[in-house]
Structure 1
Amino acid sequence: MTLQKPALFWQHVLAIGWLGLVLVLGASAVWLPLPYPPATSDALALSSPPQWDGALSAPHWLGTDALGRDVLTELIYGCRTLLLVSLPATLLLTAVGIWLGSVAGYWATTGLRWARRYWLALAGFLLCTVANVPLLRIGVGTALLPWLLWSGLCASLAWLLGYSRWWRQPGAFPIDSLVLGSAALLGSVPRLVLVLAIAAVLPLSFISMPLLLGLTCWPGMMRLVRAEVLRIRQLPYIEAARALGLPNRRILARHILPGLWPVVRAAFPFYLTLIVTTETTISFLGVGLPAETASWGHLLSTARLAPTNWWLIVFPGFCLVGTIISLRFLAQKPVFSVPILK
């Protein structure tokens, strides 16, 4: 009896092939021999349609936008923007979600105990960090000096309070309630509205935009990780590790975190899709990266200047839809685990 590969296998192969193409184009965009650099206008070819005459010397294979910028160049450099923004943002929200979900699910409300002076120092450190965020508009150096001064003051206060017995006594910290409350507070505001409001205050770059997207999209990943940690901590081998007297940090790092890999692996493509669509949306609205930065969202927004230019919708829309569908296929079931049917 012969073996047949299911259609699902080939769908995943196509998805991986498309994502690999986007990855290669984005990583090598700077070195590709493109005829036109990004953000460069061709005054003699404004709103030029695609030209497929079979010659390599064709001026604009995929046409130009209303400002004369080459669509092919903008698409390839848009892959680069996609990699520089979406991947770091997704990795950041995954790291934050794993960390907060693990500590919230393992220690719950009363399991995490620390000296009271350390909790006071941590609260002061977080307050001074939040208070110095508006200074980032002026410059990183301007915000760094007050942050260092206030952080040093909090550390000195914690050291002085160590002479008091009451401040040295351990106190339970409701980490689970705090994390869930923060996630609920963050989720009470629509994500797009929150991102647009913050982007209108702080200038966005290839550093601040991944930070903004990653720090506003972590609640979903955190809830998944927390639910999985609550399940794993009840398993017999965790009870055996506790009975052996292993410290909590070792149990969490060696026995619980490796068990989170299937959940994180399945959720990562979904949240990467969320970041890609969010970045494209805010770029389309003109609030994302600067206008001279090549992006699929910026390219789609130029169609509003010339609604009859169908190529400004078809080509970037195809790239965006192809990327989203490919990520969805990988999220449903990894290609390497697709069985071969008889």
Structure 2
Amino acid sequence: MADFKLTILWSDWLIYLLVVTLAIFFINLARDAVTRKRWRKVFVSPLGSASFLVIVFYVAIALLDSVHFRLPLQQLEGSDTVHYSQEVNSLLDLTLQDLRGNDEKTYSEPFAIYSFAKENRTLDSGQVVRDFPRLEHAGSHLPTGKPASADIFERTMHALVVGALLTLALWLLIWVLRWGLGLSSGQGLQASAWLPWKSILLTLGALVLVSTWVMQLGGYYHILGTNKVGQDVLFQAIKAVRTGVLIGTLATLLTLPLAVGLGIAAGYFKGWVDDLVQYVYTTLSSIPGILLIAASVLLIDVYIETHPEQFQLTAERADFQFLALCFILGMTSWTGLCRLLRAETLKVSQLDYVQAARAFGVSNGRIIGKHILPNVTHIVLIALVLDFSGFVLAEAILSYIGVGVDPSMASWGNMINEARAELSREPVVWWSVAAAFSMMFVLVLAANLFADKVRDAFDPRTVG
């Protein structure tokens, strides 16, 4: 009998395609000396290299959560047919099994061993008291009388030692690879000496230490507490990484063809082309964005409800709604970048060397590709990363008003939506919002810092 059934969602294909595209991009980058020199300016910066590693770490989590499968159900006696569970799991679920499987009844604070809410308990004497019950999983390993704080400290020290050893092993592996690559090029360790290795190694060490600490303590305590139904908040925040990475990336990439194509065409050709493009993006900009997105999402919901036969699994329905949201966000958010590119193209097209190329009969396509596009690339890069941040935050806003991703899909927006009532109670349940905010903050900050370095490297006014 098969141990599992591989299940590939449409969003899984897209993230695989994204990773392959990035790999091809970096392979082609190595062949272009001019572009390689510009990107080298990005990674020679300690801040640029560190933020890039953080982004790669988030993408790695999203990849682990994009390998989906279904486990087989118990086979009936006398039957050869194998039926599979309707629940779709991922490699990330297996990796974080300790965090995922230790559900409690309701809220509990970070590192707590007692519930956050009081319950009626009957003592051995028959007396009924109202008290904070002991959690079922968190701290259940503790021997009688041992305080949780001492055990947490011991396990933290053990996790840091293990993480330090793994970090040293990783640093040694990097040193060996540097030496090997340097010998093949005849330059020894100087082959990549221009990289800020101190910043790279410290960032990798911090990521390894944090990951090791979470893996070591996550099976014994709820590091960021539990939510209303007793699920581990840290697990939910990590599961939401895939949603944040994909919605920011896919929606951003969908804006690129329309914004770049129409913006440059309007600024370069002028005349009726410019009038038509301005009419389209002015009309679209005049419609309130949230209302337009909400109306489109509600239409998708109606389609899903009227065609249930097309979605056999809950995960397939949630995935379709998620991709539709990415498409809607992309199709309604290209106007700002298009306006910027039109204005910049109007300026660049009047430069002497562009006018000289026209006078010598160079084709419009070659002028746009060789002279216009390189001079607006820095605007595209910085605008796309700002849009990425905006889309990640927009998902949280849309989920808050009930028109975001499916409630069954883990996302930072759904976490904030579920926690909004928790902020008005006394005492305040703050850890769900804090977990979602922290994960979003790190991703958006790393993306913006990396974008600043890319902008500095590709801006024609700074390229030497």
Alpha-carbon distance in 1 for matches of 2:287, 2:60: 36
Alpha-carbon distance in 2 for matches of 1:334, 1:107: 29
Q: Which residue of the partner structure matches residue 88 of structure 1?
A: 250
Q: Does 1:77 align with 2:235?
A: no
Alignment of structure 1 residues 1-342 onto 2, 5 Å = 12=48, 15-29=51-65, 30-32=90-92, 33-35=95-97, 42=103, 44-51=104-111, 53=152, 54=155, 56=217, 57-109=219-271, 174-203=272-301, 205-307=321-423, 308-334=428-454, 337=457
Alpha-carbon distance in 2 for matches of 1:311, 1:215: 34
1:14 is displaced (CA, Å) by 5.1
1:323 is displaced (CA, Å) by 2.8
Alpha-carbon distance in 2 for matches of 1:41, 1:191: 41
Sort the Cα spacing of 1:12 and 1:251 in 2 relative to 1 into closer, same or farther, 3 A. closer
Answer whether contact 1:84 1:206 (CA < 8 A) is retained.
no
2:391 partner amino acid: I
1:219 is displaced (CA, Å) by 0.7
Answer whether contact 1:88 1:210 (CA < 8 A) is retained.
yes
1:233 is displaced (CA, Å) by 1.2
1:73 partner amino acid: F
Answer whether contact 2:378 2:455 (CA < 8 A) is retained.
no
Sort the Cα spacing of 1:36 and 1:194 in 2 relative to 1 into closer, same or farther, 3 A. farther
Identity of aligned residues (%): 30
1:298 is displaced (CA, Å) by 0.5
> How many equivalent pairs are there?
264
1:333 is displaced (CA, Å) by 4.2
Sort the Cα spacing of 1:66 and 1:190 in 2 relative to 1 into closer, same or farther, 3 A. same
1:211 is displaced (CA, Å) by 0.8
Question: Which range is displaced more, 259-268 or 327-336?
Answer: 327-336
Answer whether contact 1:98 1:225 (CA < 8 A) is retained.
yes
> So what's the TM-score if we normalise by structure 2?
0.52
Alpha-carbon distance in 2 for matches of 1:227, 1:241: 20
1:186 is displaced (CA, Å) by 1.5
Sort the Cα spacing of 1:227 and 1:41 in 2 relative to 1 into closer, same or farther, 3 A. farther
> Unpaired runs of 5+ in structure 2?
1-44, 66-89, 113-151, 156-215, 302-319, 459-464
Question: Which range is displaced more, 233-242 or 319-328?
Answer: 319-328
1:79 is displaced (CA, Å) by 0.8
Greater C-alpha Rg? 2
1:330 partner amino acid: F
Deviation string, structure 1 residues 242-266 (Cα, Å, up to 9, x no partner):
2222222232233322322122122
